[in-house]
Amino acid sequence: MRCAICRNGNTADGRVTIVLDKEQTILVFKDVPAQVCDNCGEEYLSAKTNKELLELANDAIKRGISLELLKYAA
């Protein structure tokens, strides 16, 4: 896929770290599958991965988590 940000690079499968900051909860997810631009480094998550991360974030908020580091398991 051509990068929508820089319009010069192409994306390839990769793994990234995602930080979510919501309602005083900070979650760091390591090893998240993504498409990564080979030119600018922009990261693209699939709709499925994005939905899973948001569900995990909402669960952490309900549990009262302030800061958590997780390895993403897909």
Q: Which of 13, 24, 7 is nearest to 74 (CA)?
A: 13
Q: DSSP state, 18?
A: E
Tell me the whole-structure pTM to 2 decimals.
Answer: 0.84
> Cα–Cα distances in Å, from 30 out to 1, 8, 9, 20, 46?
23, 27, 24, 11, 16
Q: Which CATH architecture has domain 11-71?
A: Roll (3.10)
What confidence tens digit (pLDDT) does each residue in 30-67 have? Answer: 999 999 999 999 999 999 999 999 999 999 999 999 99
Residue extents of the structural domains in the chain: 11-71
